[in-house]
Chain A
Amino acid sequence: MTGKVQRVGQAIAIAGVATLLGLLIWKVAFDNEQGAADKLAKGELVHAPAFSLDRLDRNGTLSLAALKGKPLVVNFWASWCGPCKDEAPVLQQTYERYRKQGLVVLGVDVKDFREDARRFMRRYGVTYPVVYDGKGSTIGRWGIQGYPETFFVDRTGKLVGERIAGSVDIERNREAFERGIALALGDQS
């Protein structure tokens, strides 16, 4: 009887260790999903990860699918982020300048208070569409590492150009910003 109990105990212990080992192997081997930003940096063709979020600029929701066919500048920001204040006027000017060509600047307000975000939008005169992602549900799939970050999406829904980490249109990334807009609009030159 005691031998049997001992054997059952050993079997349970071995099964427990084997399960933990299996989970570790699975984690290392398969749970290495990369965000879109990482794939883009490697030169892979990657579609903009889909989302559907509540709007801050008006009532209702807005999904990325609803903007299919339009070139996009997708900007992840938050009202508590200092550099986001610096770039807000530039993004607004970009929206106004390229709007007639179909370009949409889309703001994604992340991990923020809704009211703070709305106050920010009023203060900086933001009129382009802004959606609210308080939970940060987009962060992992897009590969966001900090705020602000900006991506360019062409009319087919693919990410183009390079991800801009930090404020846009300052000296160090003006060229990348303008090239991203050109690629999103379909200007290959």
Chain B
Amino acid sequence: MTRALALCALVAALLAGTATAAPSPADLESQLVCPVCGTTLDQSDAPIAQRMKRYIRQRLAAGASEKQIKAELVDQFGPAVLAEPPKSGFDLLAWLVPLGILAAGAVGVGVIAWGWSRRRSGEGETATPPELDAELERRVDAELRRFES
């Protein structure tokens, strides 16, 4: 019991530590875009990308938060420097529109699948074997009797 409690406390402490840990330079470099080459900073060796990496390290060392550093770089280079669009204002559409299209597609597929399944089950219920005409039925019976005898 004591061990279980200690383990829970350790896990809680680790989770809390993760939530408040300062971002690493690598984290930020993957979230910011080189304004000249258009790739994320971690993928770029352009002079301005190298300068931005130095800036990130300097600001982190000075105790700046991830949010502060991003805001400062947006002030210098504009919102296009963010690899992901902000989740607020007009930019929120960049997140909502794809989700909306995905949801509409899922609903559409569901409706079509429902329609198809209804049609197939309806076909199963109403299907009746075609009636043979009298002459053909008489000949089939005769052939069967002959086959059995």
Contact = CB atoms under 8 A, between A and B. Distances in A.
B118 A114 contact: no
Interface residues of A, number: 19
B89 interface: no
A137 B111 CA distance: 46
B77 interface: yes
Q: Is the interface of A mostly helix, strand, loop or mixed?
A: loop
B122 to A, nearest CB: 8
Contact of B77 (A9, A116, A135): A135
Contacts of A116: 51
Interface string A10-50: 00100000000000000000000000000000000000000
A12 B107 CA distance: 12
Contacts of B77: 111, 134-135
Interface in B102-129: 108, 111-112, 114-116, 118-119, 122
Interface of B: 35-36, 47-48, 51, 55, 76-78, 80, 108, 111-112, 114-116, 118-119, 122
Interface of A: 1-2, 5-6, 9, 12, 78, 80-82, 111-114, 116, 134-137
